[in-house]
Structure formats: C-alpha cells, structure tokens
Amino acid sequence: MEVLNKLVLSANNFIWTYILISALIVLGLYFTVKTNFVQFRYFKEMFRLLGEGSSKEAKKEGKVSSFQAFCISTASRVGTGNIAGIALAVVAGGPGAVFWMWLIALIGSASGFVESTLAQIFKVKNGNAFRGGPAYYMEKGLNKKWMGVIFSILITISFGFVFNAVQANTISLAFNNAFGANKLVIGIILVVLTGLTIFGGVQRIAKVSEVIVPVLAGLYILVALFIVITNIGQLPGVFKLIFTSALDFRSASMGTMGGMMLIGIKRGLFSNEAGMGSAPNAAATADTTHPVKQGLIQALGVFTDTIVICSCTAFIILLYPGYQSSGLSGIELTQEALTAHIGPIGGTFIAVCIFLFAFSSIVGNYYYGESNIEFMSENKSILNIFRVGVVCMVLFGSLTQVDIVWNLADLFMGLMAIINLIAIALLGKFAFMALNDYTEQKKSGIKDPVFRASSIKGLKNTECWNDKPEQTM
C-alpha cells in the first residue's frame, strides 16, 4: 500500500505540476484575450445578474434559478480547502503565495465563463428542469459521446465518492478535536443529513445550497472583516509583505520563488476549479434567457471563492503575529489564529464553519455525480445505487483516514480536467460568439437579451434553444 501511495503521489506531482497547471494557465490567458477581458468588462453586470437570479420571480416551480445554480457550484467550490488549504499555502509558500493565488483566479475566471456558457448552450431538458455539463457538450458539440463517458466516470468517482469521503473525514476530525465528539455519531448525523438532501433531487439540493452558502460565506466574511478592522494598522504591512514576497527577485535567484509561485497557483486553481469541468454541471441547471448570463455568474463564483473567501483565511492568518513560530499548519493554524483574534470561541466557530463548508461541498459534489450518472444512463435504479454509495462513502470517510483514495482522486481529477480543457479549447468559439450576441443585444437597448441558436453560425444540437417565440428560458 505504501508503494502504491508513493507511485500515485509521483504521478500526481507530474500531472499537476507539468501538464495541468500549464494548460489551465495558457487556456485561461487565451480565453481572457479572446473574450476581451470579460471578467473585468462585465464585473458589474455579474452582480446585477446574480441579484436578478435571486428574486422571487426567478424561482419558478420545479426549476433552478441562476442564483440557485450559483449556490450549487459555490457549495462544491467552497470547502475545507478554503480554510485549511490556504493555511498550508501560507506556511509552505510564504505570504507571496497569496498574490499568485489572486492572479491565477483573475485569469481562471475567463475559463469559468467559457465552460459554463458552453454548459448552458448544450444543456438538455430534465423534466421541468435542465441538466448538462462537460459530458453533454462533448457529446453534442464535439459529437464524441465516448469522451463524455470517460469524463463522467472520472468526475463521478472523484467528486461523488472520494472527495465526499474526505470532506466527511475533515468534519469528524474537526468535531472530535474541538468537542471530543464520537466520530461514529458525527458520521451517522452526516449520513442522515446527506440522505435527506440528495434523495430530494436537484431542486432540494438547490434549496439547501441557497440557504447554507450565502449565510455561511457572509458570516465568515464578517468575522474576517472584524479582524481586519480591529487590526487595521497592520493591514498596509500585510499587503506589503504579500507583494514584496511575491516579487522577491532575490528569492528567485535562490530558486525559492518558483516554489512559492507554484503553491499559490495550485491553491488558486484547485480551490476555484476554473476550467476543470465541475462547475458547468451546476451552471447547466439554471433557467435563464441567455447562456452568457450563467457564464458571467459562474465567473463571479471563481472570484467569490478565491479573491473573497480564500483571502479571508489568508488575512486571518497573516494578521496573527505567531503564524510563523507556531509550528502549525492547515486547520490547526487557522484555529489558533482565530482564537488569538476573537478568543476561545474562535475554535468553535471554525469547527462549525468546517461542518457547513464541508457539508455544502458534499451536497454540491453529489450533484456533479448525479448529472453525469444520468448522462450515462436514464435508469433510476442506477442513480439510487449511486446515492446509496455516496451515503456509504460519507460514513466511511467519517471513520477512516483516506490518504490513498485522496491521492487517487487527485489523479482522476487531473485527467478529468485535461479532457475538459481539450473540449472547451475546441468549442470556445461558440462561447465567444454567444458573448458577442449578448453584447450586441445590450448595446441595442435590449435589457434582457434572449438567445437564439440560429444566431450563432455553425451551432447545432442545441435542444433547449430553439427559435420559437414562446420560448421563455
């Protein structure tokens, strides 16, 4: 087992470092240029659309609103990595890693826009709702169902099973350390909550996500803001430390700057998942009048995850004078830093945050698996077997260390991301044309642009975007 673990780790280091990161950065820059810096031009529009999608009018019976789709994807993106992963990045890479994390998120949001717009363009009907994602645009856009099947298998294993086991493991450890809670009891509670949510379908997942994500993210941001305000005098020094460390050419000459950049870039990419093919599964569920709307909202999701929530953790740690000398890393360092800032309640607050962050990730991760199970088979029995498997993995993760399967999941996720990057590189032109269509309609005075498949040259196999006047999506 130890030999297998080392082999998997070696494979991971090769894939993540030399192939995946390079591809994600190159394509992120390419999409940024081809969309004319959409993530900056339409930043204000992203917030407007998110507010529009959260209105009562947007929540139609049996359908998923743009805001709910945003919450599903954010539920999966925002997990324990936003708390523990950033602490690890700061310890291993230094404060400069935060700068590279910010930079890569700004670049990656263009990839997030493209893949989510494509998910909307090629989505399919699912009763009164919709489903879609990379597997669907591989089949309909590239006419390569085999490619979609491979992607579906990889994402189902990675997100539906293994990542959920790891999230459950983190919850049980946090509550065991903070309160001495029995891991089996925590596991049973998680199983019940997960089962009640996932057996209710995408509508229940959307409703749970739209409650947990805004409340939890808002509370975490408020606590971080309180810490920043109470330490406002140190803030200029923290920013200076981040930028000088990131651009320390002396470190570059000593060979350490590359490691810091790599850690920051990896944390940014793997936290917000831009270009990896996970968020488009949620983006496709949204009921909207134009694919670009959900593409912009999901680009905002990248910003929310990395620039906002990950930065909150970074400031909590960097404003703690003992972060270098404590000898701690990961969740323990975040707990110690927060306790130093707000007192003993800090440890309890982090434990609760971990529970809700990780549970929301379990729910979001599950839906990615469900959508791809349905791509491979319409048999409801297979979907129910998958649901039972997810619940079992949650219990397993609560009780057992899962290092080897975590490493295997990283490998599967890397392969999954490479397949998705190939697909969006080939299909990106349709996202660019859809963006131009949206822009032209807005410039002509149309407040609520409506998408027609016939307006995009060469676009075929779009089940949900016919040209009938009665279309209301």
| C-alpha to C-alpha distance for 377 and 380, rounded to whole angstroms | 8
Question: 195-199, 263-267, 334-338: which has the minimum mean pLDDT?
Answer: 263-267
pLDDT at position 3 over 50: no
| Residue 417's pLDDT band (cuts 50, 70, 90) | confident
pLDDT value at 437 more than 90: yes
DSSP state letters, 340-409: HHH-THHHHHHHHHHHHHHHHHHHHHHHHHHHHHHHH---HHHHHHHHHHHHHHHHHHHHS--HHHHHHH
Whether 191 has a pLDDT exceeding 50, the answer reads yes
pLDDT at 328: 67
**Per-residue pLDDT reduced to its tens digit, 271-282:** 667 778 888 988
CB distance 147 to 423 below 8 Å: yes
**Tokens coding 394:** 């949650």
- Cβ(117)–Cβ(459) below 8 Å: no
Predicted pLDDT of residue 80: 65
Q: Which residue has the higher pLDDT, 392 or 403?
A: 392
CB atoms within 10 A of CB 449: 17
Percent of the chain whose pLDDT exceeds 70: 79
Q: How many Å apart are CA 108 and CA 324, to the nearest integer?
A: 30
Who has greater pLDDT, 232 or 11? 232
pLDDT class for 267, splitting at 50, 70, 90? low
What is the average pLDDT across 101-108? 86
Q: Where are the domains of the chain?
A: 2-455
Q: Could you tell me what percent of the chain has a pLDDT over 90?
A: 16
Per-residue pLDDT, averaged over 168-194, amounts to 79
The pLDDT, as a whole number, for residue 33 is 94
Tens digit of each residue's pLDDT (9 = 90 or more) over 302-347 = 888 888 888 888 888 888 887 777 666 666 788 788 888 888 787 7
Q: CB neighbours (10 Å) of residue 6? A: 11
Cα gap 159→162, rounded to integer Å: 6
Q: How confident is the model at residue 145 (pLDDT cuts 50, 70, 90)?
A: very high
Average pLDDT in the 41-52 region? 86
pLDDT at 254: 40
The model scores a pTM over 0.85:
no
Instruction: Indicate the CATH number of 2-455 among 3.40.47.10, 1.10.3720.10, 1.10.150.110, 1.20.1740.10.
Output: 1.20.1740.10
More confident residue, 13 or 373: 373
Q: Dig out the tokens for 369 from the structure.
A: 């698996």
Any idea which of 186-190, 199-203, 285-289, 385-389 has the lowest mean pLDDT?
199-203
> For residues 79 and 39, which has the higher predicted lDDT (pLDDT)?
39
Instruction: Judge whether residue 471 has pLDDT over 60.
Output: no
- What is the rounded average pLDDT of the residues 112-122? 93
Tell me which residue has tokens 């947007």. Answer: 58
Q: Are 139 and 148 in contact (CB under 8 A)?
A: yes
Measured distance CA(243)–CA(172) in Å, rounded: 37
The overall average pLDDT reported for the chain is 79
Q: What is the per-residue pLDDT across 218-227, written as a single tens digit (0 to 9) for each?
A: 888 888 889 8
Q: Is the pLDDT of residue 402 over 50?
A: yes
Most confidently modeled of 54-68, 192-206, 256-270, 303-317? Answer: 303-317
**Per residue in 228-239, pLDDT tens?**
898 888 888 888
Q: What is the mean pLDDT of residues 156-178?
A: 79
- Is the predicted pLDDT of residue 6 greater than 50, yes or no? no
Query: How far is it, in rounded angstroms, from Cα 429 to Cα 270?
Result: 25
